[in-house]
Amino acid sequence: AQVNRGWRVQFNNAIGPYKGGLRFDPGLTESVLKFLGFEQCFKNALTGLPIGGAKGGANFDPKGRSDDEIMRFCQALMNQLVHYIGPNRDIPAGDIGVGQREIGYLFGQYRTLTREFVGALTGKGVSFGGSELRTEATGYGVLYFVKDMLDRAGGDVDGQRIAISGAGNVALHAAEKAIALGARVVTLSDSGGTMHDADGLEQEQLETVKRMKQDRGCRIEQVAEEVGWDYRKGETPWSAECDIALPCATQNELDSDDAKALIDNGCRLVAEGANMPCTADAVDRFQDKGVLYAPGKAANAGGVAVSGLERAQNAQHLVWTRNRVDDELQKIMRDIHDRCERHGGNGDGRPVNYRRGANIAGFEKLADAMIAQGVL
């Protein structure tokens, strides 16, 4: 038999029930889940919705597994997870290596074991309680946030060259919205390497990338060949010329040397689609050089926010339209931007310190809730 380890780190539920993603990654450790759970508390507070912070997953490697193997692993994991989650206790969702298919299997097992149809998971298929736009929410939300940052700084997304890392849920939907807003997406990547083209991705090419990744699990190397882009084996996107960088793959994927290369190549704005993709040194360098920088807890909060909206729809036994969810998402991203500006603004039209603003705004809300409830 094969044995894997699963975890759920329930970090704080002072504002609402625990909420956060589940990750399948052979390199996963409890320590990674703890920092992700910690960050999740402040992100969820920033959304303005009543959700606490958690993170979980397993050191299971989904790559190369059959559909049946994935289903059986999801069922085995839920046999244990069922004791800890519930619509008013802890509501997991997908994350790296866990998409709609996995959430479907997890939900099916939860429903079978509990004999209840309730919103104990988010990111479900829209035919069984999932919210419209949840799949797209994180990536779209990143672009809405970037747009708000540029509005504040007197710029525009249209015509900007954007380097994106990753080729998963967040990266591909960030790319989709970037193209829709008139930007040039000059890179995508995976753990094998980077595809690059200075002219940028056409919408039609993006459809090809999505199909190849989602239906056939192709690597970026194969995708690059198919769409006729340059492939840089073993390289990250951070040596490309760009105006904006959106790290959307994983933690610690952009270090201080990468930050220097980006700045030297003209990058003026960095927003984190992934959780903690930039090392602390890299962030210091961006801020020292006046590069606008938005941490994941602000820029990628659209995903968990729409998960919060999915939970609300499930609790009301209602289904909202895509337009309604999109309007709510844009409003939530704007509110997060305003909170960052209020707590991280430097006055007089000077650049906002989004790192400081996001940390203070998220912390203040959570600390107030804990003190009021006598937790401290």
Q: What is the contact surface with ligand 8G0 in residues (CB under 6 A)?
A: 19-21, 40, 43, 93-95, 122, 275, 303-304, 307
**Which two three-digit tokens encode residue 168?**
């998963």
Structure tokens at 108: 């099916």
Catalytic residue chosen out of the listed positions 19, 55, 147, 177: 55
Output DSSP code: residue 172: H
Binding-site partner at residue 272 among ligand NDP, ligand 8G0, none, CB < 5 to 8 Å by type: none
Q: Is 249 in the site for ligand NDP (CB under 6 A)?
A: yes
DSSP H helix total and E strand total for the chain: 13, 11
Which of ligand 8G0, ligand NDP, none does residue 287 bind to, with CB < 5 to 8 Å depending on kind?
Answer: none
Nearer to ligand 8G0, 121 or 369 (CB): 121
112 binds ligand NDP (CB under 6 A): no
Report, in Å, the least distance between residue 85 CB and ligand 8G0. 12
Token pair 């958690």 in the structure block, residue: 54
Residue of 190, 197, 258, 326 interacting with ligand NDP (CB under 6 A): 190
E strand or H helix that includes residue 10: strand 6-12
Query: Does the annotation mark 19 as catalytic?
Result: no
Query: Is residue 168 part of the contact set for ligand NDP (CB under 6 A)?
Result: yes
Q: What letter does residue 339 receive in the DSSP assignment?
A: H
Binding range to ligand NDP, per CB under 6 A, among 184-192, 324-332, 348-356, 365-373:
184-192
Find the binder of ligand NDP among 104, 166, 237, 345 (CB under 6 A). Answer: 166
Binding mask 291-310 for ligand NDP (x = CB under 6 A): ---------x--x-------
DSSP string, 26-75: TT--HHHHHHHHHHHHHHHHHHTSS-EEEEEEES---TT--HHHHHHHHH
> Which of 293-296's residues contact partners 24+ apart within 8 Å by CB, and which partners?
293/269, 293/354, 293/355, 294/145, 294/146, 294/149, 294/270, 294/340, 294/354, 294/358, 295/354, 295/355, 295/358, 295/359, 296/39, 296/43, 296/272
Catalytic residue numbers read: 55
Question: Which residues contact ligand NDP (rule: CB under 6 A)?
Answer: 21, 94-97, 138, 166-171, 190-192, 248-250, 253, 273-275, 300, 303
